[in-house]
Amino acid sequence: MISRYLHIQNSEEWEDYEKEMNEKFPGISKRKDFKYPPILPIVYYEGKQRWTASLDIADKILCKELLGEYLPHFRYQLVRLHDYSNEELLEKEDCFILTERNGKMNPGVSIVLPTYNGKKYIRESVDSILAQSYTDWELILVDDCSTDGTAEILEEYATGDKRISVIHNMVNQKLPRSLNTGFSRARGRYLTWTSDDNRYMPEALEKMVGFLEENENAMIVRSDYFFIDAQGEVIGNSIEYSDHNMYAFNCFGACFLYRKEVRDVVGEYNTDAFGVEDYEYWLRILDRFGRIFSIDERLYEYRRHGESLSESKRQMVLNQLAELRRRYEDKMLGELKNDKAELCRIYYEMIQVEAFGSDIRNDFRKICHELEKDQGFTDRKPFIVFGAGIYGGRAIEILGDKAVFFTDNDPQKEGKIKCGREILSFEKAKELSDRYDFLIAVHHCYIYELICQLNKAGIKEYTTLQSYMADMDD
């Protein structure tokens, strides 16, 4: 192991310090007694195993208990020699300089954790950060006026670890503003945030930092993750990520890391996008930098429970999502023009929350011609309701006596009675198509499949429950 001090004139750090001091005390840098801050030691480590010794400079000094407050408070930087050639080390020498500023050093990673009444799971979330194999981080806890004892728990953690700080909002700010508050204090080279009910796997930060350091063209990286239930048991896995799918739905996830330069370019989280603030931010990053990188390894545990925002505020989220899609309409239609099933799903989701203007509706129909056959509100003939499930029951409530039969692809439902109507097989219903109109009554995720089935059967006109209800309101 080789340890030495680097002494480099006119470094950017010294220039910044000189500028800062001259602004406070004009002309001070011209005085003979003016001094620059010390350049901190760098340890060049020749081994290939993970460094296990303390990086805190105080731990390397004899009688540190006696010296106490007179010791500088910083951690030295570790540079693994085997990661670089001699030429690269010489070229990067300036990059390895760190300076002591008011007893603090900039950490590698800044983690913001906003919380509101998160007492139930907050310890699990913070403990997963404390258990990280990568230790050069700061954790900025933002308490958004909790009333359940969360604030006391946060202070307890901050007292026990100098890497942790707490911000207490004076009034409830909601998630996007709390994120902006936290990141305004962030000093790390890399930034991320996590939720008060989710957990990192132990090597999450180490692997994401390693990825960004090995891939200089990557501005952001995300990873796959597990789904866990309220008790912390694994109940599923995240789906595969792709930039293409980001314009269809938020497949990004909740485990990620991005360079601080991303925030400099993209800006803060959008306070008007409450409920979809994360999705909106990832789309801005994708739009600006052209790619989001992914680690195909599960490094995070995302908790699904009834208290989650996405469960309790579903309608608000759908409205915000529709607004987001209107903003990115051109990108969305361009990316998904060959994926008619996704376009159809989005089309009917937006109709369901009354988010369509006639111009956007026409843009969808130009690409997905099957949508043009949807007649919307019509009363030319009585109806066969295609879908004998929950949506079919809703259709009967709206159509009343206009609905005469059901049909369904589930053979076990054939011949049964629902809402006083017989459930026909699709083959039998098809024979009655000259006397009845078909109304598709299923979740918007399955509408395109049934449209294709009707078209294949030669039934070219139909309506959907979503468009029928939208036209009724008009």
From-to residues of CATH 3.90.550.10 in the chain? 109-305
CATH 3.40.50.720 residue ranges for the chain: 374-473
Predicted local confidence at residue 135, as pLDDT: 94
pLDDT the model gives residue 102: 36
| Cα–Cα distance measured from residue 96 to residue 384, given in angstroms and rounded to the nearest whole number | 72
- What is the 3 state secondary structure string of 313-357? CHHHHHHHHHHHHHHCHHHHHHHHCCCHHHHHHHHHHHHHCCCCC
Query: Tens digit of pLDDT for each residue in 384-433?
Result: 999 999 999 999 999 999 999 999 999 999 999 999 999 999 999 999 99
Choose which CATH entry (3.90.550.10, 2.40.170.20, 3.40.50.2300, 3.40.718.10) describes domain 109-305.
3.90.550.10
Domain spanning 374-473: which CATH class is it, in words? alpha beta
336 contacts 285 by C-beta, under 8 angstroms: no
pLDDT at res. 103: 37
Quick one: pLDDT at residue 234? 95
Q: DSSP state, 419?
A: T
DSSP letter string, 151-210: HHHHHHHHHH-TTEEEEE-SS--HHHHHHHHHHTT---SEEEE--TT-EE-TTHHHHHHH
Low-confidence ranges of the chain (pLDDT < 70): 1-14, 32-105, 307-312, 354-358, 473-474
pLDDT at position 55 is 66
Q: Over the range 164-196, which residues count as b (16 or more CB within 10 Å of their CB) and which as e?
A: bbbbebeeebebbbbbbbbbeebebbbbbbbbb
CA angle 261, 252, 282 (to 5 degrees): 40
Task: Determine if the pTM surpasses 0.85.
Answer: no
Q: 121 and 197 in contact (C-beta within 8 Å)?
A: yes
Predicted confidence at residue 332, as pLDDT, reads: 92
